[in-house]
């Protein structure tokens, strides 16, 4: 990597596990130039603020939970205004291999818009059933999740930002749909492994249950309805619609707090259906 290249990272927190957040930030702070930590009104924010982070970690606190896109866009603006070349997005519970960033650095001279990681599920049972396999060193892909995405700020079009109509779900899907319309390339680095968790996975018979909280289900349903309203005609939208029905059905049939989750799904559906979509339309 050219020594003058500057990498910024953004992590949005909401009631994080302190020891894990500290480990991620401490490890990351030694490998990149600066970290923006945006907190969404966590109950344990005083504990977060009391951690002795390195000087290249900047903490911002929000009086309300603004979700993800607002903070991602703020990080993009900060990066552009302060001479950063790349923005790395990570979740508060991200777990990456020791040489994760070293693998990214090998490809910083490639013609790409985003570098994304090879995803490995922390739940071994889930990973064995739905493994991601490839024999290639790198693969061009159409989409990935937020966490682990490295954005080349020099290749970022002025009109491309994260959709602030969304809160937490489909933020990544929408962003990559926009990028694909600009014919921008996303390169998955298969040697850069990011370990992820989908909810609190359990299994009943042949089915996996995600066991999301009612709050998460409400926001997830809201965002997916908004996303489908904005992108109604595509194979991916059809898959997302069917997948959502399948997952919500499992949640209300087999998970705990069924009545609260039914109420949350219904509330999220209503919010998404009647939400006034911003003037920034996706054609």
- 282 part of a folded domain: no
Q: Report the DSSP pairing between strands 138-141 and 186-196.
A: antiparallel
Boundary-marking domain end, from 150, 181, 196? 196
Together in a domain, 38 and 109 = yes
Distance separating alpha carbons of residues 183 and 74, to the nearest angstrom: 24
Distance separating alpha carbons of residues 101 and 104, to the nearest angstrom: 5
**Could you tell me the pTM of the whole model?**
0.94
- According to DSSP, the residues that pair with 57 across neighbouring strands are 35
Domain hosting residue 19, numbered range:
7-196
Q: What is the CA radius of gyration of the chain?
A: 19
Per 3-state DSSP, the chain is made up of helix, strand and coil in percentages (nearest 5) of 40, 20, 40
Looking up residue 18, the CATH number of its domain turns out to be: 3.90.550.60
CB 172 within 8 A of CB 145: yes
CA geometry: angle 255, 266, 167, nearest 5 deg? 90
Could you give the 3-state DSSP secondary structure of residue 211?
A: coil
Distance separating alpha carbons of residues 110 and 115, to the nearest angstrom: 10
pLDDT tens for each residue of 139-156: 999 999 999 999 999 999
Per-residue pLDDT of the chain (283 residues; tens, 9 = 90+): 345 899 999 999 999 999 999 999 999 999 999 999 999 999 999 999 999 999 999 999 999 999 999 999 999 999 999 999 999 999 998 898 888 999 999 999 878 999 999 999 988 888 888 877 788 999 999 999 999 999 999 999 999 999 999 999 999 999 999 999 999 999 999 999 999 988 899 999 999 999 999 999 999 999 999 999 999 999 999 999 999 999 999 999 999 999 999 999 999 999 999 999 986 544 4
CB 88 within 8 A of CB 10: yes
Total domains present in the chain = 2
Enter the tokens of residue 169.
């779900």
E strand or H helix at 216: helix 214-230
pLDDT tens for each residue of 218-270: 999 999 999 999 999 999 999 999 999 999 999 999 999 999 999 999 999 99
Together in a domain, 173 and 235 = no
Could you give the 3-state DSSP secondary structure of residue 123?
A: coil
Together in a domain, 265 and 142 = no
Contact residues for 43 (Cβ-Cβ < 8 A; gap 6+): 15
Together in a domain, 178 and 212 = no
* Backbone angle region of 198, left / alpha / beta, with phi > 0 → left and psi within -120 to 50 → alpha: beta
Together in a domain, 191 and 206 = no
- 280 part of a folded domain: no
Together in a domain, 244 and 165 = no
CB 11 within 8 A of CB 37: yes
Together in a domain, 75 and 134 = yes
């Amino acid at each position: 990597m050219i020594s003058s290249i500057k990498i910024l990272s953004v992590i949005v927190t909401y009631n994080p596990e302190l020891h894990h957040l500290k480990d991620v930030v401490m490890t990351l702070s030694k490998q990149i130039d600066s970290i923006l930590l945006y907190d969404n009104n966590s109950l344990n924010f005083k504990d977060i603020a009391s951690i002795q982070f390195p000087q290249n970690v900047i903490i911002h606190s929000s009086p309300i939970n603004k979700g993800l896109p607002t903070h991602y866009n703020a990080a993009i603006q900060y990066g552009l205004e302060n001479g950063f070349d790349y923005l790395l997005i990570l979740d508060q519970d991200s777990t990456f291999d020791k040489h994760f960033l070293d693998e990214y650095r090998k490809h910083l001279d490639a013609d790409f818009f985003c570098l994304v990681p090879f995803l490995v599920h922390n739940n071994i049972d889930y990973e064995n059933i739905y493994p991601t396999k490839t024999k290639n060193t790198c693969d061009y892909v159409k989409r990935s999740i937020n966490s682990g995405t490295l954005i080349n700020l020099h290749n970022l079009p002025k009109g491309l930002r994260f959709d602030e109509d969304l809160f937490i779900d489909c933020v990544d899907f929408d962003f990559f749909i926009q990028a694909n319309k600009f014919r921008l390339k996303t390169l998955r680095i298969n040697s850069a492994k990011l370990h992820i968790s989908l909810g609190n996975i359990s299994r009943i018979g042949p089915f996996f249950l995600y066991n999301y909280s009612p709050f998460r289900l409400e926001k997830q349903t809201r965002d997916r309805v908004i996303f489908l309203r904005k992108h109604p005609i595509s194979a991916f939208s059809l898959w997302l619609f069917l997948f959502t029905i399948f997952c919500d059905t499992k949640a209300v049939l087999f998970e705990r707090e069924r009545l609260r989750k039914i109420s949350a799904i219904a509330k999220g559906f209503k919010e998404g259906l009647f939400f006034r979509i911003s003037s920034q339309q996706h054609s």
